[in-house]
Amino acid sequence: MASDFSSSGSLIERRERVVCPGVGRQSGLTAASADGAILTDHEGGRYIDFAGGIGVMNVGHNDPDVVAAIREQSGRLLHTCIHVATYEPYVELCEKLVEIFPHGGSGTKAMLVNTGAEAVENSIKIARQATGRPAVICFTGAFHGRTLLATTMTSKVNYKTGCGPFAPEIYRLPYPAVTRHDDERTVAQRELARLRAAFKDTVRAEDVAAIIIEPVQGEGGFYVAPNEYMRGLRDICDQHGIALIIDEVQTGFARTGRWAAYEHFGVYPDLSPWAKSMGGGLPISCVIGKSEFMDKAAPGTLGGTYGGNPVACAASLATIRKMESLGLNARAERHGGIIRDRFNAIADRVPAVHDVRGLGSMMAIEFNDPEDPGRPGSALVAAIIDRCRDRGLLIIPAGVSGNVIRVLAPIVISDDDLMRGLGILEEVAVSLASEPAHSHH
Ligand SMILES: Cc1ncc(COP(=O)(O)O)c(C=O)c1O
């Protein structure tokens, strides 16, 4: 009886009936299957996927080698819990991670969990244990996840509504956000000075365990931190014995044309959380860190029942090998160039474009309100996204005002699909930006 009731109506109606609305829904899109950079809905509609499950599908949907590794591992061992019995996929994945992401110092170690938020939380716990200090500095526009400590460090208030009280000892400074209208050096120097001042007017440097920063902000709108700022941050952390945590959850695993976005800056973190594309679609995340920090974590304080599940480890190892064999970093670099050129072409045609920015294939285009250029073009972006979906392109917003369109397409996307998707976006943006605003709703 219950099953008759629960399976009636459309998938979206069924969802509305039983799924907590706190789990946000951006659209009425459904997903039945996916392959490479194409998503198919329950009506058989095909979409070019510029969202990649929010930056998870760098290696492409249902990569055959990843699927084969999942099948093989699931026939052998599904779970023991790493605290109970040591299995090889966990150790092999950590070996691979420390090989690709050496953090310098006396050596590098890793630990595995399931989500980006968990990796972030564990990196903070390790930094506190290693330094014996309580405070954490984070940034405006930051997104670090939705568990309570991660929510505390996340900036956009829409993600936090009614969820407090938040974790104590979290301090926030302005992110060094640069648009094409700003001078990078000025922003870097101003915000470094503000950080030094914060040690006098906000929190003592001797009380700060960690500074956590996204080298390119994800949800915050794809701002790329200035190189001078990242280098200054490294110096300040060294000077005061503060752990520099670089959050690579969205930027990592080839998205910016490097394994790690921090490689672009020549700045290495003490600790770094990773997730999203490292699992090829399965939930797995990690903290990588200098041994002198990682070795300070007391046994039993980190981990969890499912952290580093064998099947997820096998998926991650297959994903990393596939990224290596496809030369995904070079591909991301090339795609990024194509996207940037097209976005600049849109900017030439559409006066409401405020900025084009990003790193590698992590590219974004920001809009102002066409009728009031001093304000963010949030309604315009929402309208562009809806109309793109009607035309077979799945794309998602970013930015605290939702006025940024970001591309997180699978990096394996064919040139053909990439060009078709960009073509749809250009046509839609040009036509909607010239329509009166009331038609954006
Ligand atoms: C930079 C960054 N950190 C952390 C997270 C949280 O990851 P998860 O949603 O897997 O908990 C995200 C998710 O978007 C992110 O972009």
pLDDT tens digit at each of 441 positions of the chain: 344 445 678 999 999 999 999 999 988 999 999 999 999 999 999 999 999 999 999 999 999 999 999 999 999 999 999 999 999 999 999 999 999 999 998 899 999 999 999 999 999 999 999 999 999 999 999 999 999 999 999 999 999 999 999 999 999 999 999 999 999 999 999 999 999 999 999 999 999 999 999 999 999 999 999 999 999 999 999 999 999 999 999 999 999 999 999 999 999 999 999 999 999 999 999 999 999 999 999 999 999 999 999 999 999 999 999 999 999 999 999 999 999 999 999 999 999 999 999 999 999 999 999 999 999 999 999 999 999 999 999 999 999 999 999 999 999 999 999 999 999 999 999 999 887 665 665
Task: Give the residue from 304, 326, 348 where a domain finishes.
Answer: 326
Residue 195 falls inside a structural domain: yes
Same domain, 45 and 83: no
Give nearest CA residue, ligand 1 atom 3: 144
As for how many domains the chain has, the answer is 2
Cα–Cα distances in angstroms (integers) from residue 60 to residues 159, 300, 384, in the given order: 28, 36, 24
Residue 116 and residue 174 in one domain: yes
Instruction: Say whether both 316 and 424 belong to one domain.
Output: no
Site to substitute for ligand 1 among 249, 284, 316, 408, most atoms within 8 A of C-beta: 249
Q: Judge whether 208 lies within some domain.
A: yes
- What number of residues does the chain have? 441
Tell me, in angstroms, the distance from the centre of ligand 1 to residue 4's CA: 37
Cβ(120) to ligand 1 under 6 A?
yes
What is the extent of the structural domain holding 369?
8-62+327-440
Alpha-carbon distance of 316 to 318, in angstroms, equals: 5
Asked if residue 99 and residue 52 are part of one domain, the reply reads no
Neighbours of 417 (CB within 10 A): 19
- Is residue 2 included in any domain, yes or no? no
Partner residues linked to 196 by β-bridges: none
Are 39 and 72 found together in one domain?
Answer: no
Same domain, 151 and 56: no
| pTM greater than 0.95 (yes/no) | yes
Cα of 192 from ligand 1 centre, angstroms? 25
Ligand 1, atom 10: closest residue by C-alpha:
116
Q: In this structure, is residue 1 part of a structural domain?
A: no
Domain contains 3: no
Do residues 321 and 337 share a domain?
no
Asked whether residue 178 falls in the same domain as residue 80, the answer is yes
Provide the CATH number for the domain around residue 238. 3.40.640.10
Q: What is the CATH number of the domain that holds 361?
A: 3.90.1150.10
Does any ligand 1 atom lie closer than 6 A to the CB of residue 247?
yes
Q: Which one of 307, 326, 345 terminates a domain?
A: 326
- Does 380 reside within a domain? yes
Pair 373, 398 in one domain: yes
**Token code pair at residue 366:** 């920001």
User: Do 352 and 311 belong to one domain?
Assistant: no
Atom of ligand 1 nearest to the CA of 251: 1
